[in-house]
Amino acid sequence: MTTPAFAVIPGAQVQHILQGQERLIMDLIETTYHLHSVGESVNPPSYFLRFPDRPTARIIALPASIGGRARVDGLKWISSFPDNVQAGLPRASAVLILNDHDTGYPFACLESSIISATRTAAMAASAAHTLSRARGTRPTRVGFLGTGLIARYIHTFLTATGWSFEEIGVHDISADSAAGFHSYLRAADTATELTVHDSPEQLIRSSDLLVLATVADRPHVTDPAWFDHNPLVLHVSLRDLAPEILLASTNVVDDVEHCLKADTSPHLAEQLTGNRDFLTGTLHDVTTGRATLPRGRPVVFSPFGLGVLDLVVGRHVYDEAARTGQLHVIDDFFHELRRYG
């Protein structure tokens, strides 16, 4: 057996490899959800490391294993420190460790905030396509509640996979963030009407596709009447909506057991009702026709974002770097490889 090698792939290299590959990545994500649904994955619950002295911060461990062509195990270790924004740093930082399927040896460490944002955006874009087809209507007015990195990546994936909008609305509790996202949109999409809304209600009522990408740790959108026009909601941040809104909506998740944990909005709805009857099914159920979407209700997609998605995107980045001869291998990373010295 050859000596195990270990490579480090920095963020600039990750971004370069993934740039312009939105359709390919969305296909990878959809294939991974299929593999997960037929038992070709191991995706245990995520572990949340929290801090009594920093209640808004957390670091999450997402261990996972995926079969198929990727055939890799690994761990995403991602931190969320919202106070970073005030210091001029991104809220989230992450690394991804890939482990060899046969030996268990880690063979790569990748900067993973870009991988995480990419798989989240691909997941959201896939859901927008799938759920719009299932409803028989395609939204023309999109609204972004929360205007950070994830919102930018979701906009990129939507437009790169065939979406165009008559109107784009924006709202953020930070006026500077809303203005910055507006400037990005203006540069990226000069033809679309752009509006910065003064309140979440204005944004929600004016959008038929709504992207929730905030850092909220508890529900702050509480009035079901704001959704009377039955929008399609990509509830990416998982904790924005009061349970009453979910109970008045058609609810789709990516994985039932993962989504109904850690006081997410679906978890709160389960605690309120004592059951899971408010769930229509998973996105894969909708894709395969096992679940149908009734008319005349909002549709809310609440994805936990499985660790297997990060593994598949990370493995794709690693394979591309290896194929093009760009792997930065750390010589002699592993030591004491002889059992008896």
Task: Measure the CA–CA gap between 98 and 111, rounded to whole angstroms.
Answer: 12
CATH number at residue 315: 3.30.1780.10
Q: Is the pLDDT of residue 145 over 90?
A: yes
* 13-45 pLDDT per residue, tens: 999 999 999 999 999 999 999 999 999 999 999
Q: Which domain holds residue 130?
A: 121-302
> Both 89 and 137 in a single domain?
no
322 Cβ partners below 8 Å, 6+ apart?
A: none
Asked if 69 contacts 128 with a C-beta cutoff of 8 angstroms, the reply is no
The pLDDT score that the predictor gives to residue 88 is: 87
Domain count, the chain: 2
* 96-140 pLDDT per residue, tens: 999 999 999 999 999 999 999 999 999 999 999 999 999 999 999
> Both 84 and 179 in a single domain?
no
Asked if 164 contacts 193 with a C-beta cutoff of 8 angstroms, the reply is no
> Both 106 and 133 in a single domain?
no
Q: Is the pLDDT of residue 1 over 70?
A: no
Mean per-residue pLDDT of the chain: 95
The pLDDT score that the predictor gives to residue 190 is: 75
Task: Measure the CA–CA gap between 275 and 269, rounded to whole angstroms.
Answer: 8
> Both 284 and 314 in a single domain?
no
> Both 238 and 320 in a single domain?
no
> Both 292 and 314 in a single domain?
no
231 Cβ partners below 8 Å, 6+ apart?
A: 139, 204, 207, 208, 209, 210, 298, 299
CA dihedral 6, 11, 14, 17 (to 10 degrees): -130
Q: Is the pLDDT of residue 152 over 70?
A: yes
Q: What number of residues does the chain have?
A: 341
Mean of pLDDT values over 137-146: 97
> Both 22 and 141 in a single domain?
no
92 φ/ψ angles, rounded to the nearest 5 degrees: -110, 145
Residue type, 246: L
In whole angstroms, how far apart are CA 316 and each of 14, 28, 35, 154? 10, 9, 16, 20
> Both 259 and 148 in a single domain?
yes
- Give the Cβ contact number of residue 216 at 10 Å: 18
Is 335 inside a domain boundary? Answer: no
Is 2 inside a domain boundary? Answer: no
* 240-279 pLDDT per residue, tens: 999 999 999 999 999 999 999 989 999 999 999 999 999 9
pLDDT-above-70 percentage for the chain: 99
Statement: the pTM of the whole predicted model exceeds 0.85: yes
> Both 49 and 164 in a single domain?
no
* 181-198 pLDDT per residue, tens: 999 999 988 779 999 999
Q: Is the pLDDT of residue 91 over 90?
A: no
146 φ/ψ angles, rounded to the nearest 5 degrees: 100, 125
Is 336 inside a domain boundary? Answer: no
Q: Is the pLDDT of residue 306 over 70?
A: yes
206: three-class secondary structure by DSSP: coil
Is 340 inside a domain boundary? Answer: no
> Both 212 and 127 in a single domain?
yes
CATH number at residue 230: 3.40.50.720
Tokens at residue 2, please? 């050859």
> Both 149 and 244 in a single domain?
yes
